[in-house]
Amino acid sequence: MDPQGVSIKWVSDAKERGVLADRDFAEGNVIFEEQPMVCDQYLYNKDFFPTCEYCLACLESPADMVKRLAGLPEPPHLWGAEAVPVLKNVPCEHICGELYCSTSCRDKAWAQYHSLLCLGPHPRDDHPLLEIRQEWKSFHFPPESATIGLLVKMLAMIAVTRDEALFDHFKADYRNETLHIVAKFMDEQFSDRLTKFLRLFRDLFAPHGLHVSQELFDKLLTIVSLNGQGIGTSSFEAYERILRNLSAAAEEKAGSPEALAVTEALDQVDALREAIEEHSDDFTHAEGTGLYRAHAMINHACVPNAEIQFVRNNATLRVVATRDIAKGAEVTISYMHFDGCESDGEEDEDEEESDHEHDHHGHDHHHDHDEHLVDVDRRREMLREYYLFECTCDQCLADSGAGKAALATAPGSRTVAGSSSSSSSAAGSSSSAARR
């Protein structure tokens, strides 16, 4: 899709492409929305959350979701929950067990990839697709941060279209040194597992006329690793969002029956959220990963001017301004959540990886990225590790004491978010060249 209000343009030789504002955006404005080119639910998460296989829409009602996640004997009465659309459970016509929110999603999935991947009612135990899923689940445990299913769908789409360049929009350097990113999602048997996956992919797609070469395999792995955006959906969170919007609208009617009802409902939501967190631990949202054409072009800044939200209870991605953005300025997001990370110590490794995963999930929560930022050296180390670039955003330059000198000498000087930009100026951003 071509988002309105922004353009994808060349920013600089160092940063390559970026997303620039074609008009002014005020804080809180929706900059653009985008559907994924392809998305897939995490495999363990799929065991717990019924979602639309195509768009990841949560198929449970808010009350049914709360009952299950909080371990309640009965679904609670949720005031105003009827405002959350009730989605259908449309099964695959070939009885493979996949569900969809509509016949439209079912038909799109079949046309794009599912016709090659449908297992039918009685798949054989040694089916390559089942082996791929079992192998992935044997070492990639919750909390999940990636899914092999996305790569499966991408290869199926290539087989359907006969176009190995289908995902070349997501430019990626897939030389051997970049593949260490993929190892973050595997284990000490990284090399052996890649070899096994390649064999299984070849077994899966050979009957459909696609030879999965080492080059194609490496390229798609790197595209997913560098460009995949985590997705989180929840009908209960959609219900909470409706209540909070009603609460804001009811502020002028303080003391009215509606205002009191909304307040009581929000108190109930807070209590239920605590119960869910205590009972469900890793599984509080339906989660997966998707590839978004425009989103993949947004560069990083440690103090960005935009953030990712999922507010439609499906994989529709929304980019929202977190501060004023002037026409011509670059739109930036933070690839990781640095606030609250410690700068050293072995115990912090899991927390740092969790921050990386949570940022990719992009749930509908606002983050003040400029408060409590981890040390600049640690930020740069984490970005090098996960995204293969040295961050030179305005915040990193300022924190390293090199801000003025770097801005004076760097080609295409960067500007603060919301200010007028010069030629190829950026809103305090930097990017991974490998990602472009």
> What is the pLDDT, as a whole number, of residue 414?
33
Q: In this structure, is residue 217 part of a structural domain?
A: yes
> What is the pLDDT, as a whole number, of residue 413?
33
> What is the pLDDT, as a whole number, of residue 343?
36
Q: In this structure, is residue 179 part of a structural domain?
A: yes
* C-alpha pair distances (Å), 105 with each of 57, 61, 113, 195: 10, 19, 12, 33
List the one residue out of 39, 65, 64 whose CA is nearest residue 52.
39
**Judgement on whether residues 10 and 70 belong to the same structural domain of the protein:** no
DSSP 179: G
Residue 396 tokens read as 């990193």
Q: Which of 211, 230, 249 is the last residue of a domain?
A: 230
Coil vs helix vs strand at 34: strand
**Judgement on whether residues 82 and 206 belong to the same structural domain of the protein:** yes
Q: In this structure, is residue 252 part of a structural domain?
A: no
Q: Which of 191, 213, 230 is the last residue of a domain?
A: 230
Alpha carbons 210 and 203: distance in angstroms, whole number: 10
**Judgement on whether residues 48 and 185 belong to the same structural domain of the protein:** yes
Alpha carbons 172 and 221: distance in angstroms, whole number: 10
What is the residue-level pLDDT of the chain in tens, covering all 436 positions? 567 899 999 888 777 889 999 999 999 999 999 999 999 999 999 999 999 999 999 999 999 999 999 999 999 999 999 999 989 999 999 999 999 999 999 999 999 999 999 999 999 999 999 999 999 999 988 988 889 999 999 999 999 999 999 999 987 665 544 555 565 555 567 778 889 999 999 999 999 999 999 999 989 998 998 899 999 999 999 999 999 999 988 777 777 888 999 999 999 999 999 999 999 877 899 999 999 999 999 999 999 999 999 999 999 999 999 999 999 999 999 998 776 444 343 334 443 443 443 344 444 444 444 445 788 999 999 888 877 788 988 899 898 875 444 444 443 333 223 333 322 222 333 444 445 5
**Judgement on whether residues 338 and 196 belong to the same structural domain of the protein:** no
> What is the pLDDT, as a whole number, of residue 358?
36
Q: What is the CATH number of the domain that holds 360?
A: 2.170.270.10
Q: Which of 182, 211, 230 is the last residue of a domain?
A: 230
> What is the pLDDT, as a whole number, of residue 339?
60
Q: In this structure, is residue 278 part of a structural domain?
A: no
Alpha carbons 383 and 379: distance in angstroms, whole number: 6
**Judgement on whether residues 136 and 224 belong to the same structural domain of the protein:** yes
Beta pairing class for 99-100 and 306-309 = unpaired
Q: Which residue has the tokens 């989660």?
A: 287
Q: In this structure, is residue 275 part of a structural domain?
A: no
**Judgement on whether residues 216 and 75 belong to the same structural domain of the protein:** yes
> What is the pLDDT, as a whole number, of residue 188?
62
**Judgement on whether residues 132 and 219 belong to the same structural domain of the protein:** yes
Q: Is the dihedral of CA 101, 106, 108, 112 positive or negative?
A: positive
**Judgement on whether residues 92 and 211 belong to the same structural domain of the protein:** yes
**Judgement on whether residues 367 and 355 belong to the same structural domain of the protein:** yes
Residue 214 tokens read as 């080492």
**Which domain, by its residues, includes 392?**
6-35+292-435
Alpha carbons 272 and 63: distance in angstroms, whole number: 10
**Judgement on whether residues 27 and 63 belong to the same structural domain of the protein:** no
Beta pairing class for 229-233 and 286-291 = antiparallel
Q: In this structure, is residue 98 part of a structural domain?
A: yes
Q: Are 153 and 289 in contact (CB under 8 A)?
A: no
**Judgement on whether residues 312 and 189 belong to the same structural domain of the protein:** no
Q: What is the pTM of this model?
A: 0.83
Q: In this structure, is residue 88 part of a structural domain?
A: yes
Alpha carbons 220 and 114: distance in angstroms, whole number: 19
Q: Is there a cis peptide before residue 143, judged by omega within 30 degrees of 0?
A: yes
**Judgement on whether residues 31 and 72 belong to the same structural domain of the protein:** no
Domain tally, the chain = 2
Q: In this structure, is residue 237 part of a structural domain?
A: no
> What is the pLDDT, as a whole number, of residue 289?
97
